Chains A and B, each alone.
Chain A
């Protein structure tokens, strides 16, 4: 019990708890946000469900990238595998979630086992590229699957059915699905927390900083790294199955290499090798993507008003200033570069030093 409370002793722990509470209670205060005219209830839940699911995927990547130093540039492939498992089964009328989800997770784990066994023997950028290669292979399988829409993707007409425990249609489905996603996120966080603090996790982190020493100590580092790789794949497959249910649509774009890149960005932005880092990263990245153009418009309006106060009509029309917000990706790119150059520990490091690692 005391172990559960220790995190609150630091600011870092308090903020982590606050973020989780804010996420968990969203369905309760979303109506209030709606009434205040800030964001509609349904859209808030839809958007944040996506954030939660991609946070789960980012957590799984962090397990190998942050703790194991394994830079996989094809992690989105498991999102695709999980998603396609659900989508294809639904397409053939198999909507039982108790069947769909184990298949999605199992398939991802098996695939991770196969490519991990082959690719973990390579190092450095060759490893980055070989994971990309395997992901691209599956991507092109998806593109070539004419019966399941090929490049165009496939609409899922019925969500996974968990013996009727979860509403699959109607107004409640959005809230119910949000709650489920949040619970899964908590479970995954718990699992990863236990894993990295176990003997296995110590060995994994040890192999990251000095593999030869760990081998000299008699640790089977390859097997440890492979195990982590498989667990990460399985968790990410779960995220894929959730995502397919959430969007009710699957397409090869789910596992495009840029999606793998997005996952890496989320992990680094949030803070590598920190438990909550990927969650912060996913929240920040996806919300930036959604609201950066709007934010820029606000900033540009202020700037314009400021300049207009000095220059009068010389400032030009507000309209032409606002056009600049169309180029919001320049801002996103600059933020990314600045984080890499000057904020190496990501968002998590802003809240104080981690206890270890």
Chain B
């Protein structure tokens, strides 16, 4: 029983981390209609910034707080130099140009930080388990990720549904010509949203850093998963991204936790261990394909 609770927490933690990454992606996509493959690179930069600032200040919390404005700055620069030129182009152009950005980002990081990965050291109070019940210890840091992730989710919900900026964002996601007609400075709004997306990606990256080690290309694989999440949830929908991220986090964790033992009852250990991660990965894509066949614009999609 405790094992199941622990695995559920693991699933929630992964889901919230994925949500942070997906939320930025779905905002940028929904409002600017921009497919940004380089979102994973912003995730990576967030982690590297945090690693450097943590080493410099000797504090993970300070390092993280400094990394966020740095990521915002990077996001704004990228938007002005490259991304801005892409808004009037089609999705195919977005995919190709931002794929080019990924290549540049990975080699740039290698040139600046070297080929070695970085480990972000945690302060002692985060680096040990807390006891949720006397026989259920859980890593404090993962618990902190859950808390921060949930807080950011609530903040985004408030931002989108209760504020004026949120109104523009919602307007943009459902009808782009309208926000121009409302007399809003579209250019500034786009830069702002792209910067917000960069901060969210960086936050996800720097929170993943202490768990998975900061390394080159760390955002490339997780990016595809983030795309799956926003497509399942419906592009532009924060609520959809949240629900889809939780589902994907659960499938991935429970698949890894339960499937191998299930398969071992009728397969060899090696075959079961080879098939299980493949099956849980497949389950995620099967889910996406199923959702799209059933609802061609995702669970909460505003438009096609």
Contacts and interface: CB of A to CB of B under 8 A. Distances in A.
Chains A and B directly touch (beta carbon < 8 Å): yes
A44 to B, nearest CB: 27
A130 B292 CA distance: 7
B304 A337 contact: no
B103 interface: yes
Given A125-B91, A132-B224, A144-B274, A333 B289 contact: no
B274 A330 contact: no
Contact of A122 (B92, B93, B292): B292
Nearest to A131: B289
B204 to A, nearest CB: 20
B14 interface: no
B286 A268 contact: no
Which of under 10, 10 to 19, 20 to 34, or 35 or more describes the interface residues of A? 35 or more
B100 A334 contact: yes
Given A71-B92, A129-B231, A150-B274, A340 B285 contact: no
Main secondary structure of the interface of A (DSSP, over half): helix
B6 interface: no
Nearest to A135: B285
Contact of B96 (A144, A151, A329, A340): A340
Nearest to B289: A133
B95 A264 contact: yes
A340 B270 contact: no
A84 interface: no
A223 to B, nearest CB: 18
Nearest to B91: A125
Interface residues of B, number: 48
B271 interface: yes
Contacts of B277: 143-144
B104 A333 contact: yes
A264 B106 CA distance: 20
Contacts of B286: 133, 137
Given A71-B91, A136-B281, A146 B97 contact: no
B84 to A, nearest CB: 11
Given A126-B297, A129-B228, A146 B275 contact: yes
A128 interface: yes
Contacts of A268: 92, 96
A126 B303 CA distance: 10
Interface string A331-348: 011111101110000000
Interface string B69-103: 00000000000001001100101110111011111
B241 to A, nearest CB: 14
Interface in A91-128: 118-119, 121-126, 128
B275 A118 contact: no
A137 B107 contact: no
B1 interface: no
Contacts of A257: 224
Nearest to B111: A327
Interface string B266-285: 00001100110111011001
B228 A133 contact: yes
B293 interface: yes
Nearest to A128: B91
A22 interface: no
A335 B99 CA distance: 11
B292 A126 contact: yes
A220 interface: no
A200 interface: no
B121 interface: no
A123 B92 contact: no
Contacts of B166: none
Contacts of B95: 73, 128, 261, 264
Contact of A126 (B101, B106, B231, B282): B231
19 contacts: A118-B293, A119-B289, A123-B304, A129-B292, A130-B289, A133-B285, A133-B292, A136-B224, A140-B285, A143-B278, A144-B277, A146-B271, A147-B271, A327-B107, A329-B104, A335-B100, A336-B103, A337-B82, A337-B97
Q: Which 5 pairs across A and B sit closest by C-beta, in order of nearness?
A: A144-B278, A333-B103, A336-B100, A333-B104, A333-B100
